[in-house]
Amino acid sequence: MSSSSSSSSSPPCPKKMITLKSSDGETFEIEEIAALQSKTLENMIDENCASTPIPLPNVKGKILAKVVEFCTKHAEAGADAETLRAWDAEFVGVEHAIVFDYILAANFLEIPTLLDLACESVAEMIKGKTPDEIRKFFNINNAFSPEEEEDVRRQNQWAFE
């Protein structure tokens, strides 16, 4: 055991970084510890596939950038729950088309915290709307046949304002 007389603090361990590549060719660096929030990435890291840039053909660059931001934030030590909740609320306070992409990305990358957050925010968008308003907001085509329409109305009529 060698004794070292150091008057300065030892250099911090270099953080292990992983590179991710989006569907449109952009690359992003993420700390390994943050990447572990994705079960998909965790599996790849465990199996030592993480030394080259990991291609993610299902996720666009614009969204991947935000996912990296989310995972990095949630991997930070010492974040208090209150502040994190507020940060999360701002993170999903975007148009539903983007939240849709977050959901797909979180599902593909298996990030349960992001998936729950995004799903809950969509539920908030649904609450308080009539079926018509829901369709308009989410741009959904009402694909019921007339018989189905009648069936559905009978089952759910009680809930319509």
Partner 1 sequence: MWNNLPLDILAKIFSFLSTESLARANSACRHWHRCGRGYLLSTGSALTWKHPPWFVAVPIRSLSACCYVHNPNSDNWHALPIDFLPDPVRLISPIGGGLILLRSTNTTVHQLALCNPFTRQYKRLPKLNISRTNPATGIVMLDPSRGASAPAFRVYVAGGMSDAPRSCGTYESTLEAYDSVHERWRIITLMPVEFAVRLTVWTPNESVCCDGVLYWMTSARAYSIMGFEIGTNKWHELSVPLADRLEFAALIRQNGRLTLVGGTCGGAVSMWELGEGEVWSLVEETPCELGLKLLGRKANWGSTKCVGTDGVICLYRDLGSGMVVWREMKDKGRWEWFWVEGCCSVRGKKVQNFPIRAVLLHPNLAPSHFPD
Pick the stretch among 15-23, 44-52, 86-94, 114-122 that binds partner 1 (CB under 8 A).
114-122
Of 134, 137, 138, 71, nearest in space to 102 by CA: 71
| Residue closer to partner 1, measured from CB, 65 or 115 | 115
CA distance 98 to 69: 15
Residue 108 interacting with partner 1 (CB under 8 A): no
Q: Which residue has the tokens 């080259």?
A: 52
Pick the stretch among 13-21, 63-71, 87-95, 125-133 that binds partner 1 (CB under 8 A).
125-133
Task: Taking each helix axis as running N to C, give the angle between helix 131-138 and helix 112-126, from 0 to 180 degrees, rounded to the nearest 10.
Answer: 130
85-104 residues near partner 1, rule: CB under 8 A: 96-97, 100, 103
| Inter-residue long-range contacts of 145-149, CB under 8 Å, 24+ positions, other chains counted | none
Shortest distance, position 33 Cβ to partner 1, whole Å = 26
Residue selected from 51, 143, 146, 147 as contacting partner 1 according to rule CB under 8 A: 143
| Residue closer to partner 1, measured from CB, 52 or 145 | 145
Pick the stretch among 7-15, 71-79, 83-91, 118-126 that binds partner 1 (CB under 8 A).
118-126
Buried b (16+ CB within 10 A) or exposed e, 54-88: bebeebebebbebbbebbeebbeeeeeeeeeeeeb
Shortest distance, position 113 Cβ to partner 1, whole Å = 13
Shortest distance, position 65 Cβ to partner 1, whole Å = 21
Beta strands in the chain (DSSP E): 17-21, 27-31, 54-55
Helix or strand run (H / E) with residue 112: helix 112-126
Interaction site with partner 1 (CB under 8 A) = 96-97, 100, 103, 107, 115-116, 119-120, 122-124, 126-131, 134-135, 138-144, 148, 152-156, 158-161
